[in-house]
Amino acid sequence: MIPSEANAPVLKLQDIHKTFSGITAIENFSLEVYPGEIVALVGDNGAGKSTLIKIISGVYSPTSGTISIEGETVTMSNATMARSHGIEVVYQDLALADQQSVYMNMFLGREPVNGFGLLDRRRMIAETESLVKELDVRIPSAHATIRDLSGGQRQGVAIARATHWASKLILLDEPTAALGVAETAKVEEIVLSLKRRNIGVLIISHSLDQVFRLSDRICVLRRGKQIGVRETAKTDKNEIIAMITGLQPV
């Protein structure tokens, strides 16, 4: 699906700057993500990709620049606000509570309660089980403790959680870095299903193969600078590699 330009972008970043105690991590960054569009964010280690994700999700506030969601400028001082805007994130470190169960992690910070104000575990477990089945992430049980899961299963929990709650935009920070071939294919399938749900996706990946398989557009970042944005269909790996590294293509 090609993003229709008539739609308002679900996310619009304008002139984002971020400095950490004087050191510039992001400068002059502008990008739009449309509903149902998959934008890949690529760049070498330390380029500022995760920092950008954290700015969009409200973990860091930008030093300057504006963020708009569906045309409305927002200031986000914490992660709750991003979530209330329908933005979900799969962080590079997954942000899971290791000693809690899968279902408690799935509902972390949004636990349903019954009429007495007590946790509605039955509902959390049921919803977790149906979600796990729907996404086909192989987890032994909704009761399993996170630390007893494999890296791929943890990744699955984090992705399942984000897809469950996202209504507009999902940010994925290297969602397949720790995964095997089959699991990677599964995650890519999930990402494509988000596209069908008309959810905007911003995905960070070091795998150019994956980027070219999934994305509609590719945004390249080098040392905090936005090098350029390309339509995936109109570029090739050599050009992107040249942009990432700053070396001329051979």
Partner 1 sequence: MSSANTSAAGQGLANRFNLQQYVVYLGFLAIFLFFAVVLRDSGFLTVRNLSNIVLQTAPATIMAIGLVFVMSAGEIDLSIGSTVAVAALAAAVTLGQYGLIAGVLTGLGAGLLVGLLNGALVAYVKLPSFLVTLATLGLFAGVSRSMTDLRSIPVTDSVFTGFFGSGAFLGIPSLIWWTAIAVAIGHIIYRETRFGAHVLATGDNARAASVSGISVPRIRLAVMAISGCLAGLAGLLYAGRLQAAKYTLGETDLMTVIAAVIVGGTLLNGGRGSIIGALVGSLMMGMLNNGLILMGLSVSDQMIVRGLIILAAVAVSLREKSR
Ligand X SMILES: Nc1ncnc2c1ncn2[C@@H]1O[C@H](COP(=O)(O)OP(=O)(O)OP(=O)(O)O)[C@@H](O)[C@H]1O
Work out whether 50 is an interface residue with Mg ion (CB under 5 A).
yes
Place of tokens 């799969």: 90
- Please tell me the distance from the alpha carbon of residue 42 to that of residue 207, in angstroms, as a whole number: 9
229 binds, among partner 1, Mg ion, ligand X, none (CB under 5 to 8 A by kind): none
Residue 112 CB, nearest approach to ligand X (Å): 33
Any contact of residue 217 with ligand X (CB under 6 A)? no
Residue 111 found at the interface with partner 1 (CB under 8 A): yes
Q: How far is the CB of 88 from partner 1 (least distance, A)?
A: 10
Q: Which stretch binds partner 1 (CB under 8 A): 85-93, 167-175, 178-186, 230-238?
A: 85-93
The Cα 157–Cα 160 span in angstroms is: 5
- How near is the Cβ of 64 to ligand X at its closest, in Å? 16
20 is an interface residue for ligand X by CB under 6 A: yes
Q: Give CA–CA dist 229/218, Å, rounded.
A: 6
The set of residues, in sequence order, having a beta carbon less than 8 Å from that of 30 and lying 6+ positions away, is 13, 14, 15, 16, 226
Smallest distance, partner 1 to C-beta of residue 79, A: 4
Q: How far is CA 155 from CA 32, 122, 187, in A?
A: 27, 24, 9
Q: Does 68 bind partner 1 (CB under 8 A)?
A: no
Helices (H), the chain: 49-56, 79-84, 102-106, 121-135, 151-165, 181-196, 208-214, 237-245
Query: Does 108 sit near partner 1 (CB under 8 A)?
Result: yes
Could you tell me which stretch among 3-11, 135-143, 182-190, 222-230 binds partner 1 (CB under 8 A)?
Answer: 135-143
Q: Which of 42, 55, 56, 57 binds partner 1 (CB under 8 A)?
A: 57
**Residue 145 contacts partner 1 per CB under 8 A:** yes
Q: Under the rule (CB under 6 A), what is the footprint of ligand X? A: 20, 25, 43, 45-51, 92
